[in-house]
């Protein structure tokens, strides 16, 4: 009897007794289309991309992420879709209304995966736009103790840190996501990972 191997794709747990599979097989296991996605191995701060035909030797505890190469079909819009897709990715979002009358998806105890803040647990807030995924706001909201960045850490053309509508313990990080209509929540989270990687 073969030993069962436990691994993760975008935080979702999978098991297999076949330790060698193609990247395309693993993407299909995660219900992703290999024609539109790329399998990426995450090891610490290092990312390794696989081509569909690459043979992947799977080991216990491996963590993979999926990069989307193109837009995903749009079936419905808004905060409910955003929250639904976050749940599908393994997150536990809270949808709250802020003082600006907009809805925000909050991820409590979100772990920073890349960059100099790797391993830090924060609360991450994102505006849930009414037409998501057609558009997203050019910002994230961060609550951390101590803060990752304060307002005085603003650097022109690099980052802009200001007050957040979510409260005095939060900081607003202005970001250009270069968003295109139809991108997925997975793509947004990938872009947020890149923000922390470059922080």
Q: What is the pLDDT of residues 92-148, one digit of tens each?
A: 999 999 988 899 999 999 999 888 999 999 999 999 998 888 889 889 999 999 999
CA 41, 16, 9, 103: dihedral to nearest 10 degrees?
-170
Helix axes 185-197, 79-88, angle to 10 degrees: 70
Summary mean pLDDT of the chain: 88
pTM for this model (two decimals): 0.62
Number of H helices, E strands in the chain: 3, 13
pLDDT of res. 71:
52
d(CA 1, CA 93): 40
pLDDT, mean of residues 48-71: 87
Q: pLDDT confidence of 2, banded at 50, 70, 90?
A: low
């Amino acid at each position: 009897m073969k030993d069962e191997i436990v691994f993760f794709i975008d935080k979702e747990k999978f098991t297999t007794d076949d330790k060698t599979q193609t990247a395309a097989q693993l993407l299909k296991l995660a219900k992703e289309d290999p024609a539109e996605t790329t399998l990426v191995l995450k090891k610490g701060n290092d990312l390794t991309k696989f081509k569909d035909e690459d043979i992947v030797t799977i080991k216990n505890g491996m963590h993979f992420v999926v990069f989307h190469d193109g837009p995903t079909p749009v079936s419905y819009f808004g905060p409910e879709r955003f929250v639904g897709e976050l749940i599908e990715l393994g997150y536990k979002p809270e949808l709250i209304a802020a003082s600006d009358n907009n809805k925000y998806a909050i991820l409590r105890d979100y772990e920073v995966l890349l960059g100099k803040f790797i391993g830090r647990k924060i609360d991450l807030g994102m505006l849930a736009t009414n037409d998501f995924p057609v558009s997203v706001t050019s910002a994230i909201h961060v609550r951390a103790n101590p803060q990752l960045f304060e307002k005085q850490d603003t650097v022109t053309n690099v980052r802009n840190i200001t007050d957040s509508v979510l409260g005095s313990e939060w900081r607003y990080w202005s970001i250009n996501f270069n968003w295109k209509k139809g991108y997925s929540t997975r793509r947004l989270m990938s872009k947020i990972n890149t923000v922390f990687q470059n922080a």
